[in-house]
Amino acid sequence: MREITVDVLDDMARGAGILGTGGGGDPYIGKLLAREAIRRHGPVPLLSIDEVPDDATVVPVSGMGAPTVLLEKLPAGTEELAALRALEAVIGRRATHIVPIEVGGVNSMIPIAAAAQAGLPLVDGDAMGRAFPEAQMVLPTLIGVRNTPMALADDKGNTLVVDAVSNHWAERIARAACTQMGCQVSCADTVMRGSQLRDGLVPATLTLAFSLGRAVRQARAAHTSPVLAALEVLGGVELFSGKVVDAERRTTGGFARGSARLSGDGELELSFQNEHLLARRDGAIVATTPDLICVLDTDSGEPVTTEGMRYGLRVTVLGVPCDPRWRSPGGLELAGPRYFGYDCDYHPLAGHRV
Binding stretches for a second copy (CB under 8 A): 86, 90, 156-165, 169-170, 172-173, 175-177, 179-181
Tell me the closest approach of the beta carbon of residue 166 to a second copy, in angstroms.
Answer: 9
Backbone angles phi, psi at 56, to 5 degrees: -65, 155
- C-beta closer to a second copy: residue 71 or 173: 173
Question: Minimal distance in Å, beta carbon 338 to a second copy?
Answer: 22
DSSP 223: T
Residue 165 or 284 having the CB closest to a second copy: 165
Instruction: Please check whether residue 22 is in contact with residue 278, taking contact to mean a CB–CB distance below 8 angstroms.
Output: no
**In this complex, which beta carbon is closest to a second copy, that of residue 165 or of residue 221?**
165
Nearer to a second copy, 175 or 353 (CB): 175
Rounded to whole angstroms, the Cα distance separating 200 from 64 reads 20
- Residues 61 and 188: beta-carbon distance below 8 Å: yes
Cα 110 to Cα 31, 146, 151, distances in angstroms = 8, 21, 15
Residue 79 CB, nearest distance to a second copy (Å)? 13
Sheet holding 266-273, edge to edge: 284-288, 275-281, 266-273, 255-264, 237-252, 314-320, 292-297
Q: What's the rounded Cα separation, in Å, for the pair 109 and 12?
A: 9
Q: C-beta of 173: minimal distance to a second copy in Å?
A: 5
Q: How far is the CB of 153 from a second copy (least distance, A)?
A: 9
Shortest distance in whole angstroms from residue 59 CB to a second copy: 18
Of residues 5 and 252, the one with the C-beta less far from a second copy: 252
Q: Which is nearer to a second copy, 131 or 152 (CB)?
A: 152
Nearest Cα residue to 187 out of 57, 83, 66: 83
Cα-Cα-Cα-Cα torsion 316, 132, 213, 325, nearest 10 degrees, comes to -100
